[in-house]
Amino acid sequence: MFLTSNVHRAHLHVSVSSLSQLKSLFSIEYAVKLLKKLAVDGNFKLGKVVHALLIVSNHASEDHISQNNCLINLYSSCGQLAIARQVFNRLQQRNVVSWSTLMTGYFHNGFTWEVPKLFKDMVSVDNLFPNEYVLSTVLSSCSSGGLLHEGRQCHALVLKSGLVFHQFVKNALLSFYTMSSDMEGVLEILKSVPGADNITYNSVLKGFLDHGYTSQALDVFSRMLAEGSVGDKISYVNIFGLCARLKDLKLGQQVHSRMLKSGLQLDVFLSSAVMDMYGKCGEILGARYIFYSYPDHNVVSWTTILAANFQNECFEEALKMFLQMELQDVVPNEYTFAVLLNSCAGLSALGCGKTLHARVEKTGHGAFVVVGNALINMYFRSGHIEAARALFSNMICRDTVTWNLIISGFSHHGLGEDALYMFQDMLAAKEQPNYVTFVGVLLACGHLGRIEEGFYYLQHLMRDFGLEPGLEHYTCVVGLLGKAGKLDEAEKFMRSTPITWDVIAWRTLLSACNVHRNYGLGQKVADHLLQLNPNDVGTYILLSNMHAKVKRWDGVTKIRKLLRERNIKKEPGLSWTEIRNETHLFVSDDTQHPETAQIHEKVRKLLAEIKLLGYVPETASVLHDVEQEQQEGYLRYHSEKLAVAYALMKTPSKAPIHVIKNLRICDDCHSALKLISKVTMRVIVVRDVNRFHSFQYGSCSCADYW
Residue whose C-alpha is closest to residue 7's, from 44, 38, 32, 62: 44
Instruction: Please write the tens of the pLDDT for every residue from 24-47.
Output: 555 777 778 888 888 888 888 888
Domain residue limits, the chain: 25-87, 575-700
Q: Is 80 exceeded by the pLDDT of residue 122?
A: yes
383: left (phi over 0), alpha (psi -120 to 50) or beta: left
pLDDT confidence of residue 9: 44
pLDDT confidence of residue 399: 96
Q: How far apart, in Å, are the Cα atoms of 223 and each of 184, 187, 200, 217, 219?
A: 18, 13, 12, 10, 6
Q: Is 60 exceeded by the pLDDT of residue 470?
A: yes
Q: Is 90 exceeded by the pLDDT of residue 420?
A: yes
Instruction: Please write the tens of the pLDDT for every residue from 489-522.
Output: 999 999 999 999 999 999 999 999 988 888 889 9
Instruction: Give the pLDDT band (50/70/90) at residue 621.
Output: low
Q: How far apart, in Å, are the Cα atoms of 291 and each of 276, 283, 296, 318, 341?
A: 10, 13, 9, 13, 22
Q: Is 90 exceeded by the pLDDT of residue 626?
A: no
% residues pLDDT > 90 (the chain): 58
Q: How far apart are CA 161 and CA 303, in angstroms?
A: 48
The whole-chain average pLDDT of the chain stands at 88
pLDDT confidence of residue 13: 45
pLDDT confidence of residue 10: 43
pLDDT confidence of residue 318: 97
Q: Is 50 exceeded by the pLDDT of residue 629?
A: no
More confident residue, 9 or 491: 491
Least confident of 176-180, 188-192, 454-458: 188-192
What contacts 391, CB < 8 A, 6 or more positions away?
Answer: 372, 375, 376, 379
More confident residue, 139 or 590: 139
Q: pTM for this one?
A: 0.81
AA letter at 239: I
More confident residue, 54 or 366: 366
Residue 576's H or E segment, with its range, is strand 574-579
Three-state SS letters, 34-71: HHHHHHHHCCHHHHHHHHHHHHHCCCCCCCCHHHHHHH
Beta strands in 57-146 (DSSP E): none
Beta bridge partners of 587: 574
Least confident of 6-15, 136-145, 308-317, 638-647: 6-15
Instruction: Give the pLDDT band (50/70/90) at residue 58.
Output: low
Q: How far apart are CA 398 and CA 412, in angstroms?
A: 21
Q: Is 60 exceeded by the pLDDT of residue 482?
A: yes
Q: How far apart, in Å, are the Cα atoms of 10 and each of 6, 14, 46, 48, 390?
A: 6, 9, 9, 7, 60
Instruction: Please write the tens of the pLDDT for every residue from 193-211.
Output: 877 888 888 888 988 898 8
Q: How far apart are CA 490 and CA 475, in angstroms?
A: 10
Q: How far apart are CA 310 and CA 71, in angstroms?
A: 55
% residues pLDDT > 70 (the chain): 93
More confident residue, 57 or 595: 595
Q: How far apart are CA 297 and CA 325, in angstroms?
A: 9
pLDDT confidence of residue 627: 44
Burial readout 414-429 (b: 16 or more C-beta within 10 A, e: otherwise): bbbebbbebbeebeee
Instruction: Give the pLDDT band (50/70/90) at residue 674.
Output: very high
As a whole number, mean pLDDT of residues 241-265 equals 93
